Structure 1
Amino acid sequence: MNLNELPGSEIILPGLSDLNNGECNTIGALLVAIAATRLTEAGLDIPKYSLTPEPELTLYALLQDERDDAYAYYNALLNLLNSFCNALELSYKYKPSNFIVKHL
């Protein structure tokens, strides 16, 4: 599966890279932190040591500092994150090896 083809990958994948490099306060890294449990359960390796506590609040504060429309942009980012997670979960769920193991 090519993660670059999933919706939202243009923000989520750089965020994952940021976390792997110890950067935890970028928009992408905060989105990954918000969905860390879902992403881990869907097969991604999330570096838990660099996750920000309360990433939702941190992301919103970051957006308020940068934009006049923080609320709308925050919601759009969460929708993008949800789309990425849904697509990843579907691809993980229907991966041939998972299908065989779960249904034997």
Structure 2
Amino acid sequence: MELNELPGSELILPGLEDLYQGRNNTIGSLLISIASIRLTAAGLDIPQISLVSEPELALYNYLQIDRDDAYSYYNALLNSLNSFCAAIELKSKYQTCIY
């Protein structure tokens, strides 16, 4: 199973690319910042220098700008993030190398 097959990868993988490009204010990069410890422990290489402090607040504020349903969308994004984290943790448990 490849990383792009994991649930939530459509948000996380572009966010990872954003971080490598120095963009830390996108939905995906903020989600990665929220779960950076879990993702790093599971073997994902995350550029730490680009992470936002208080990413939960930054994400919610970002969503409030354009969405009337910011709270429900925020929760849906966190659920997707949790699904990705759980899947990559399981994947790393049964494989020694993710890539």
Fold similarity call, TM over 0.5: yes
1:46 maps to what in 2? Answer: 46
2:21 equivalent in structure 1: 21
Is 2:11 aligned against 1:11?
yes
**Percent of aligned pairs with the same amino acid:** 68
> Structure 1 residue 66: deviation in Å?
1.1
Mark the runs of 5 or more structure 1 residues left unpaired by the alignment: 99-104
Q: Which runs of 5 or more structure 2 residues have no equivalent in the other structure?
A: none
CA RMSD of aligned residues (A): 1.0
Q: Which of structures 1 and 2 has the bigger CA Rg?
A: 1
- Tell me the SS of whatever aligns to 2:24: coil
User: How big is the shift at 1:22?
Assistant: 0.2
Distance, in Å, in 2 between the alignment partners of 1:18 and 1:9 is: 14
The residue number in structure 1 matching 2:79 is: 79
| Deviation sequence 1:33-85 (CA, Å, 0-9, x none) | 00000000000000000000100000000000010000000000000000000
